[in-house]
Amino acid sequence: MLRNFLILISIFTLISCSPKIPKGAYAEMQIPTVPDYAKKENWAALPTENDQADRTPDPSLLDLQATAEADVFWLHPTTYTKKRGNTLWNAPTDNSKLNKTTDDGTILNQASAFNGAGKIYAPRYRQAHIEAYYTEDKMAAKKAFGLAYSDVKSAFEFYLKNYNPINSTTGKRRPIVIASHSQGTNHATQLLKDYFDGKELQENLVAAYLVGMPIMRDTFQNIKVCETPEETNCFCTWRTWKYGHTPKIYSPNNNIAVTNPLTWTTDSAPASAELNKGTVLQKFEKNFTKNLVDAKVQNGILWAHKPKFKGSIFVTFKNYHIVDFNFYYVNVRENAMTRVQAFLNK
């Protein structure tokens, strides 16, 4: 477990150092090829394929996609963090090494949490380089994120047309869970605005799990924050930091929605680690641990005490962003199943 946290430390170091690549202005000739979502290789997860979203960290947890009555549209976080040609602001979707990083990281450790609730659809998209969050070239960043979102829209429209069309008998589509982390949450938020908020498709929304980014309570006109574990047609969100720490660049804001992923409420009552039904770390099955992490909503963020384990003294970072889902893996899994069942019972 120590080795896994040291891996996390290296990732946080990379993020905090704000890499100075890509170099140069954003140019159309540097745009990777548009992904064709009719090709299965442009999906990190599909319910018809064997992929990392099918795995579970414990034999007691089953992959139920084959019989699921709902779908999960998952948007992965930034995995494009290294030098890739020096000038590419957006990642190619045919980069096998990057795709393996995505699949063995976010698809395994995050998206798989939803395989008890629905069939998982996770598109590859030309994600913006992590530097887009830090660069002073705001126009380049805007274009990079815009290109990434254009793929998300294309993938979602392909999904609606080919994987979740209107049923000719019922006149309805299958229920949909939107789930995302970090950069994926930026795109998922816009997707909800464009396709769900006050639109006909909102009737199909079970819930959205918009994790890793600050989401205001009034972000949407018709989609509210989930206030109970069984509520549907709403959204959940949190960003995890070490208990007692408030980021220097952050001003406490009670309008930022925060969900406690152990109680699924938004109040500030602390939830003990005894409520945590299972945490996964980098080794997945080998690091599956119950009652490891607590949670408390605090002024626009989520606090969690540093997990205690052999060697934890060497873990000094305070931003638990990369394990937002991992810390609460089984609780997320069970809650998604609960909300889907509540939706189906209506």
The Cα 99–Cα 112 span in angstroms is 16
pLDDT for the residue numbered 12: 41
- In the chain, what is the straight-line distance between the N-terminal and C-terminal CA atoms, in Å? 43
The Cα 77–Cα 322 span in angstroms is 9
Tell which residue, 117, 181, 56, 53, has the closest CA to residue 339: 117
Which sign, positive or negative, has the C-alpha torsion 163, 169, 171, 177? negative
Answer yes or no: are the C-beta atoms of 149 and 126 closer than 8 Å: no
pLDDT for the residue numbered 47: 98
The mean pLDDT of 277-292, rounded to a whole number, is 87
Mark 25-39 as b/e (b = at least 16 C-beta within 10 Å). Answer: ebeeeebbeebebee
Answer yes or no: are the C-beta atoms of 127 and 99 closer than 8 Å: no
Q: Is the pLDDT of residue 85 over 70?
A: no
Task: Please state whether beta strands 119-123 and 43-45 pair in parallel, antiparallel, or not at all (unpaired).
Answer: antiparallel
pLDDT tens for residues 109-152?
999 999 999 999 999 999 999 999 988 889 989 999 999 999 99
pLDDT tens for residues 195-242?
999 999 999 999 999 999 999 999 999 999 999 999 999 999 999 999
Question: Residue 330 is part of which domain span?
Answer: 2-345
pLDDT for the residue numbered 313: 75
Domain tally for the chain? Answer: 1
Tell which residue, 286, 289, 258, 257, has the closest CA to residue 276: 289
pLDDT-derived band at 17 (thresholds 50, 70, 90) equals very low
